[in-house]
Amino acid sequence: MRTDAGREPHAAAFRGALWITLIATTTTALALTFQHVQTATLLDLEMGHLIEGEADALAMRFQDGGTADLSDRIDKQLAANTRDVVYMVADRNGRRLAGNVMVWPAPVREDRVTNLSVMVRSGQGVQPTEVEGEARTLDADTRLFIGHLADSRLALGRKYWTSLIGSVAITGVLSLLLGWIVSRRGLSFVKQAAVTGNRFLAGRLDERLRLSGRNDEFDRLAEVINTCFEEIERMIGSLRAATDGMAHDLKTPLTRMKARLELAMLRGRSADGDLLAENANDVDTLLELINGLLTLARADAATSDSFQHVDLAAVVQDAVDLYAPVAEERGCKVVPVLAAAPMNGSRPLLLHLAANLIDNAIKHSPPGGSIIVATIRDGASIRLSVADGGPGIPAGATALALRRFGRLDESRGSPGSGLGLTLVQTVARVHRGHLSLSDNAPGLLAEVVFETEPNPGGRLGAGRPR
């Protein structure tokens, strides 16, 4: 399904902004609530100590001077009006004996300070007032109530709600705005990926995502996407080259077979031995081409699940033993220099790889030449090299030689399907290896370097950047 490249990711950006706003406002509310609870708890402790101290002092005055002395002390403190404290001295029936609290507060407790409303006499008359107070029994006939105005607590509660509403509102607006900006910046990568992907789907296979250079998660994702684009471009390019090459390679033998049969019919003779032999050779060429394509397809689809522990040196030795007689027939020799090279891989595919390199070197080596086949372990990598003394590959023709059905001879008259080096390159890639061709001065040096470190994915080489 094609995506709409012009569609802005507003919904995702808005959702991101909402999440940021929700997190910010919730954090602000929790922080203010925690601060308010801590402050209120501290005020409660201070208020409890204040009331307890005042009650203890008045109880001692009562023990020293009785009710009269206690009432005189309370009247003096009320007259001074230096603290927001209310008092009441009452008998066992609740009748007021002294203080500015007119009615004994029924909900008051003696074990702790509580919030309650009492009737207090002041310059404005008797009116209900919110206080925090505690009762104290002085003797069997006398009780004391002492309280402190709860104005600070009420003011603290009002300021808390005011601060909470204001802070949440400001935080919400700023978070929504900044979250929108941040989300838009983050989602700009998504838009870039969508636009680039649509251009890639439209046929512009050279499209790649730009890297910011910050080496962050977005750059890592862009590298992975670009690697996928490169792999798709490589496969499409290989498919196009394969289609062109296969059409040419299939057309030539089929055309020759058709011409021979038509010529035989025009001459009015049945098929003779030479005609059948020539057609058989062309059929063998077609079968060789098809088998090469099947082998290449199996190599390209290989996964690490089918790999096992093998010694590359032993595999290469088998290939050397197989092609040594062929080299002798052409007047050259294969010289193995093999060091132990244990690795995980597919033995049949690695044998195909070594055999193709040796076969290619034999075909292009002059009589009397030597082909050096070597394996060496170098730290975390294993190197397989095949060096010959032939004409080598001209400068700038390496890409053509590695291309599927790539042939350096324009007439395509020499034997072969042009799949040898392509198969080597494919087998190397699925084994996390890399094929390189260089000048052996004279001749060609073909090297395959395998990485032996474990790969986290299932398909080896598929995600390897090149």
Give me the tens of pLDDT residue by residue for the chain, a chain 466 residues long.
Answer: 444 444 555 566 667 677 778 888 888 888 888 877 887 777 778 777 888 888 888 888 888 888 888 888 888 888 776 567 888 888 888 888 888 888 888 888 887 788 888 888 877 788 888 888 888 888 888 888 888 887 666 676 777 788 888 888 888 888 777 777 776 666 777 788 888 888 888 778 888 888 878 787 778 888 888 988 888 887 777 666 666 666 666 667 777 777 777 777 676 655 566 666 766 666 766 666 666 666 666 666 666 667 889 999 999 999 999 999 999 988 899 999 999 999 988 888 898 889 889 988 998 888 888 999 999 988 888 999 999 988 877 766 665 566 555 555 543 445 555 567 877 888 888 888 888 888 888 888 999 999 875 444 444 444 333 3
CA 231, CA 461: separation in Å to the nearest integer?
A: 10
What is the Cα 192 distance to its own chain's centre?
18
Angle in degrees, 0-180, between the axes of helices 347-364 and 420-430, rounded to the nearest 10: 150
CA 225, CA 75: separation in Å to the nearest integer?
A: 87
Rounded to a whole number of angstroms, the distance between the first and last alpha carbons of the chain is 29
Structural contact between residues 341 and 313, judged by C-beta atoms closer than 8 angstroms: yes
CA 46, CA 123: separation in Å to the nearest integer?
A: 28
**Beta-carbon contacts of residue 145 (< 8 Å; ≥ 6 apart):** 86, 87, 88, 89, 90, 99, 101, 104, 105, 108, 118, 133, 134, 135, 136
Structural contact between residues 9 and 191, judged by C-beta atoms closer than 8 angstroms: yes
Residue 400: exposed, middle, or buried by beta-carbon count in 10 A (0-12, 13-18, 19+)? middle
User: Sign of dihedral through CA atoms 148, 150, 156, 157?
Assistant: positive
Amino acid at 90: A
Q: Where are the alpha helices (DSSP H) in 305-414?
A: 312-329, 347-364, 398-402
Q: In which element (H, E) is residue 147 found?
A: strand 142-149
Give the Cα-Cα-Cα angle 349, 352, 356 (nearest 5 degrees). Answer: 145
Phi, psi for residue 104 in degrees, rounded to 5: -65, 125
**Beta-carbon contacts of residue 133 (< 8 Å; ≥ 6 apart):** 51, 86, 105, 108, 113, 114, 116, 118, 145, 146, 147, 148
Question: What's 158's DSSP letter?
Answer: H
Structure tokens at 244: 């062109």
Q: Tell me the whole-structure pTM to 2 decimals.
A: 0.45
CA 122, CA 264: separation in Å to the nearest integer?
A: 136
Long-range contacts at 289-294 (CB < 8 A, ≥ 24 apart): 289/246, 289/249, 289/250, 289/417, 289/419, 292/417, 292/419, 292/423, 293/242, 293/246, 293/419
CA 435, CA 421: separation in Å to the nearest integer?
A: 9
Nearest to 349 by CA among 388, 384, 381, 376: 384
Structural contact between residues 191 and 8, judged by C-beta atoms closer than 8 angstroms: yes
Site of tokens 């008998």: 91
* pLDDT value for 410: 43
Phi, psi for residue 167 in degrees, rounded to 5: -65, -45
Phi, psi for residue 375 in degrees, rounded to 5: -125, 140
Question: What's 6's DSSP letter?
Answer: T
**Beta-carbon contacts of residue 276 (< 8 Å; ≥ 6 apart):** none
Nearest to 348 by CA among 394, 404, 310: 310
Give the Cα-Cα-Cα angle 275, 279, 280 (nearest 5 degrees). Answer: 115
Give the Cα-Cα-Cα angle 456, 461, 233 (nearest 5 degrees). Answer: 125
**Rounded to 5, what percent of the chain is helix, strand, coil?**
55, 20, 25
* pLDDT value for 21: 81
* pLDDT value for 315: 92
Amino acid at 380: A
CA 17, CA 11: separation in Å to the nearest integer?
A: 10
Domains contained in the chain, CATH given: 13-156 (3.30.450), 222-451 (3.30.565.10)
Indicate the pairing of strand 433-439 with strand 444-451: antiparallel
Site of tokens 């397809």: 297
